[in-house]
A and B are shown apart, each in its own frame.
Chain A
Amino acid sequence: MAKIESLTPEQWAEVHQHRDQVIERCLNQPLDHNKIGQSIGACYEAVGEKPPLAIVWAPGPVAALAWSAILRAEGEKPEARQLGDQLGDQLWDQLRDQLRDQLGDQLRGQLWDQLGDQLWDQLWDQLRGQLWDQLWGQLQDQLWDQLGGQLGDQLRGQLWDQLWDQLGDQLGGQLGGQLRGQLWDQLRGQLGGQLNGAIASGWWLTDYEFWLHIAQISGITPPDEATLSLARQAADMLTPTMIIPLRGVCIAVDQHTALHRDNRNRLHCTDGAAWAWADGTQIYALDGIRVPEWVVRRPDPKRIISDELPNTEQRRVAMAHYGWDRAVDDLNLKIIEASDNPVWGTLYALPETLVERGQATLLVCQNASPDRDGTVRTYGLLASSEARTVVAAQASLAQLSESEWLTLEGAS
């Protein structure tokens, strides 16, 4: 059988459309609870489990993890099995492994020999790679990191009470109230462990969507209908940012309340949380770098250069958000050299708390052309640490020698 070696422009347009539709479904549209619920049930049955008695929609990732811990603890107690005798075991590993066994081998086995190597590479890059980058690399990986480090903090205080009450409401008040006081210490120990798998939906999803699109390319002999149908159900099940499949109950995280990204799809918001849910889970980020809330809402250059921010990437984006030109005045940065030409700029030494030792100098310059509103933008650039003159700093930004840089006739 001849392999398909290339796609037509129309077929590539369909690839891009599929990619965009998946991103739209996962990130921008209200989640279809019924469809996802049916898919979860089908996937449970496919791995030999009864469909969950309830699909619980958590208002955010922290709530989902807390509820999961509550339900698992509840399920371990003989006197507290109001939801049946099978509640609470984690099914994530079982679902992942058995679905992979049932689907992965069949999809790959049927489709692999039908496309040329170069086309696989192109499809991998244009479909799976971009989905992976947007859903996992830029978003879920950040959520994973944040929750891994801050779960205890996120659950303190009122949030705990609120989440407990909400779960009780969803399950018809069937939770044993006596558990509440006993669970806190136990939960804190379990929460981190539950992260494993729960947020990997983007990783899985991209895999299934990749194979599903290839199976529908014109000229391809697709796998059997049952395989395709299960793959579709698995992809739909994984649409939420996070699901926690337990025996008897599946917890799924409902759609976020806010998601802001920059033009490179990185989490980015300069006036609020970049990613937020109704349970109070919030991620603040600038240029894809997670930062504490105060960096966005109450930026303070003295705090930025202190040890409060643990790494230079955070300090750099935080200071860029605050404004290098403002920081220069607020921090009384030491001038190394000032040019008479504001486009060439003024060179400052940077405190070692702001950048790694000897890493860079700061060149504050003006744009050579005005913005649309007529103002001239001032901005800061991190130049070579070895620069002791404005020209040397400018040359380091262009990776030129000073004499080469001086041959520039102008800037605009």
Chain B
Amino acid sequence: MITHQEVADRTGTEIPPHLIAQAEVPVATNWRQGDVYVMKHAAGPKGTGIDISKGAGHKVVAGEADRNSHILNGDGMFYPGRYRSDFDYGLLIVPAATDENPAPLAVLTHTDEHGSVAFGPGSYRVFGQVSHETEIRRATD
């Protein structure tokens, strides 16, 4: 576990005040944050990656006016694309530990109701929930 304060310090993100009470952020390998899943996945990256350590991170799912957005921050790269399913957002790769950064972590935060979750070194498939309507489609909040 790490704390929300550590997440805020490391990533420069603001944690929604009502989630501060959840002082600890789980470090996971397979997790669901609202309608976004992050699961350990052995795959090589495709295309050009996005450095999630830069600026405010990378919005995996961008909501209107910064509401309801899922944002990756911290250490690592995000490679948008399809890795198993049409509902993939992309592949997250968190680098191995080094002397300079002995405990790298990527953190998935949410601008509204969902708590944060952190991921250690490895590769992860980031994908969305579906809805079984007349055809299977990506679920929308």
Chain A residues in contact with chain B, CB under 8 A? 262-264, 312-313, 316, 356, 359-361, 367-374, 377, 381-385, 396-400, 404, 407-412
B113 within 8 A of A: yes
Closest to A343 in B: B32
Q: Using Cβ atoms and an 8 Å threshold, which residues of chain A touch B37?
A: 398, 408
Instruction: Point out which of A399, A400, A409 has the most chain B C-beta atoms below 10 A from its C-beta.
Output: A399
Cα distance, A384 to B136, chains bound together (Å)? 9
Q: Using Cβ atoms and an 8 Å threshold, which residues of chain B touch A316?
A: 133
Interface size band for B: 35 or more
User: Contact between B129 and A397 (Cβ–Cβ < 8 Å)?
Assistant: yes
User: Contact between A263 and B64 (Cβ–Cβ < 8 Å)?
Assistant: yes
User: Contact between B29 and A409 (Cβ–Cβ < 8 Å)?
Assistant: yes
Q: Using Cβ atoms and an 8 Å threshold, which residues of chain A touch B67?
A: 263
B85 within 8 A of A: yes
- How many A-B residue pairs lie within 8 Å, measured between CB atoms? 101
Closest to A265 in B: B64
User: Contact between B134 and A356 (Cβ–Cβ < 8 Å)?
Assistant: yes
Closest to A384 in B: B132
User: Contact between B113 and A408 (Cβ–Cβ < 8 Å)?
Assistant: no
Which parts of B127-141 form the interface with A (CB within 8 Å)?
A: 127, 129-134, 136, 139-140
Cα distance, A316 to B131, chains bound together (Å)? 11
User: Contact between A372 and B31 (Cβ–Cβ < 8 Å)?
Assistant: no
Closest to B68 in A: A263
User: Contact between B16 and A372 (Cβ–Cβ < 8 Å)?
Assistant: yes
User: Contact between A368 and B31 (Cβ–Cβ < 8 Å)?
Assistant: no
Query: Per-position contact with A for B1-24: 1 when CB-CB < 8 Å, else 0?
Result: 000000000000000111100100
Query: Per-position contact with A for B38-76: 1 when CB-CB < 8 Å, else 0?
Result: 010000000000000000000000011101000000000
Cα distance, A372 to B19, chains bound together (Å)? 8
Q: Using Cβ atoms and an 8 Å threshold, which residues of chain B touch A412?
A: 26, 31-34, 110, 114-117
Q: Using Cβ atoms and an 8 Å threshold, which residues of chain B touch A398?
A: 32, 37, 127, 129-130
Cα distance, A360 to B130, chains bound together (Å)? 12
Q: Using Cβ atoms and an 8 Å threshold, which residues of chain B touch A374?
A: 18
Interface pairs A-B: 3 shortest CB-CB: A263-B64, A412-B115, A411-B32
User: Contact between B33 and A360 (Cβ–Cβ < 8 Å)?
Assistant: no
